[in-house]
Amino acid sequence: MRIRLEPRWTKRLLELPESGMGYQRVDIRLVDGRELKDVVVFNAEEIEVPDEFARTQIKDVRLHTA
Protein backbone atom coordinates (compact mmCIF):
# COMPACT_ATOMS: atom_id res chain seq x y z
CA MET A 1 0.00 0.00 0.00
CA ARG A 2 1.25 3.49 -0.79
CA ILE A 3 0.79 6.17 1.82
CA ARG A 4 1.63 9.86 1.75
CA LEU A 5 4.42 10.92 4.09
CA GLU A 6 4.07 13.75 6.56
CA PRO A 7 5.69 17.01 5.33
CA ARG A 8 8.53 16.72 7.87
CA TRP A 9 9.64 13.38 6.35
CA THR A 10 9.35 14.70 2.81
CA LYS A 11 11.51 17.69 3.75
CA ARG A 12 14.12 15.41 5.31
CA LEU A 13 14.20 13.03 2.34
CA LEU A 14 14.58 15.89 -0.13
CA GLU A 15 17.88 16.69 1.58
CA LEU A 16 19.18 13.13 1.00
CA PRO A 17 20.40 11.55 -2.26
CA GLU A 18 18.14 9.39 -4.40
CA SER A 19 18.76 5.66 -4.70
CA GLY A 20 17.58 5.81 -8.31
CA MET A 21 15.60 8.09 -10.59
CA GLY A 22 12.69 9.39 -8.51
CA TYR A 23 12.96 7.02 -5.56
CA GLN A 24 14.87 6.30 -2.37
CA ARG A 25 15.33 3.05 -0.47
CA VAL A 26 14.94 3.71 3.24
CA ASP A 27 14.71 2.05 6.63
CA ILE A 28 11.93 3.34 8.86
CA ARG A 29 11.39 3.05 12.60
CA LEU A 30 7.80 3.18 13.77
CA VAL A 31 6.54 4.68 17.02
CA ASP A 32 5.60 1.22 18.27
CA GLY A 33 9.25 0.11 18.00
CA ARG A 34 8.96 -1.98 14.84
CA GLU A 35 11.30 -1.37 11.92
CA LEU A 36 10.91 -1.81 8.19
CA LYS A 37 14.06 -2.20 6.12
CA ASP A 38 14.66 -1.37 2.46
CA VAL A 39 11.31 0.34 1.84
CA VAL A 40 10.78 2.35 -1.36
CA VAL A 41 9.81 6.03 -1.19
CA PHE A 42 8.65 7.63 -4.43
CA ASN A 43 9.55 11.29 -5.08
CA ALA A 44 10.18 11.77 -1.33
CA GLU A 45 6.39 11.84 -0.84
CA GLU A 46 4.84 8.36 -0.97
CA ILE A 47 6.07 5.25 0.77
CA GLU A 48 5.27 1.66 -0.20
CA VAL A 49 4.49 -0.42 2.91
CA PRO A 50 2.62 -3.65 3.65
CA ASP A 51 -1.06 -3.03 4.44
CA GLU A 52 -0.65 -3.83 8.14
CA PHE A 53 1.70 -0.83 8.57
CA ALA A 54 -0.46 1.73 6.77
CA ARG A 55 -1.87 3.34 9.93
CA THR A 56 1.28 3.29 12.06
CA GLN A 57 3.15 6.52 12.69
CA ILE A 58 6.78 6.91 11.64
CA LYS A 59 9.37 7.85 14.25
CA ASP A 60 12.47 8.00 12.05
CA VAL A 61 13.53 7.62 8.41
CA ARG A 62 17.06 6.82 7.22
CA LEU A 63 18.56 5.90 3.87
CA HIS A 64 18.97 2.15 3.53
CA THR A 65 22.55 0.95 3.38
CA ALA A 66 23.39 -2.40 1.82
Quick: pLDDT tens for 17-62: 999 999 999 999 999 999 999 999 999 999 999 999 888 899 999 9
Is this prediction's pTM over 0.85? yes
Instruction: Classify 19 as helix, strand or coil.
Output: coil
